A and B are shown apart, each in its own frame.
Chain A
Amino acid sequence: DIQMTQSPSSLSASVGDRVTVTCRASQDIRNYLAWFQQKPGNGPKFLIFAASSLQTGVPTRFSGSGSGREFTLTISNLQPDDFGTYYCQQYNDNPWTFGRGTKVEI
């Protein structure tokens, strides 16, 4: 199975900050990576696919980059509604696998 390693596991930031979350794959996954945001009591919300393509309706302060084994999710101008846990997921190879999450506190 492809292992997805996220860092940091948690972070605390202020409104207006720029936040970066990193996701590393144990092998090349091209750009077959998605990002999700989860808030307590809810299922994850789909943000980004193909490493950098924003889902319709997702604020443009969210962006993704990377290919191969290393990827980043950046939130520029952090807003109060951006708190939650962020997960990456690779879908290049079965079984599809997720990172363990990065908890973002405002």
Chain B
Amino acid sequence: QVQLQESGPGLVRPSETLSLTCTVSGGSVSTFYWSWIRLAPGQGLEWIGYTYYSGRPYYHPSLKSRVTISADTSQNQVSLRLSSVTASDTAVYYCARLNRYNWSHWVHEIWGQGKSVTVSS
């Protein structure tokens, strides 16, 4: 059974870089696409971007200048880096496995429990 676990600092200072890791167990990072999604207080879920270990990542246009998502097959992990953070980046961050159903339906089928990150000095 595939499980995803997010990890990283729970507190990041404004203007610094948020770095999170998603460790995949029970499956291989190289087999699927992987997304990062966040849930800010009082807001809806926001998709950040996705990657495939051997392909070009795709990012939300509003975050594209600050975000990097990558997959490390040797560690079986997916990472998220978000630079120049502000208080509006405070959120619970989730990694999720993307899978294609019925040829064209890309679905976030498995999610981690999430990592709460606060941006504050």
Contact = CB atoms under 8 A, between A and B. Distances in A.
Interface of A: 4, 32, 34, 36, 41-46, 49-50, 53, 55, 87, 89, 91, 94-101
A87 to B, nearest CB: 6
19 contacts: A32-B104, A32-B105, A34-B107, A34-B108, A36-B108, A43-B96, A43-B114, A44-B111, A46-B111, A49-B101, A49-B105, A50-B105, A55-B109, A87-B45, A91-B105, A97-B47, A98-B45, A98-B46, A98-B47
Contacts, number: 63
A4 B44 CA distance: 10
A98 B91 CA distance: 15
B112 interface: yes
B52 interface: no
Interface of B: 4, 37, 43-47, 58, 60-62, 94, 96, 101-102, 104-114
A99 B104 CA distance: 21
Contacts of A98: 37, 44-47
Residues of A contacting B: mostly: loop
A91 B61 CA distance: 15
B57 to A, nearest CB: 12
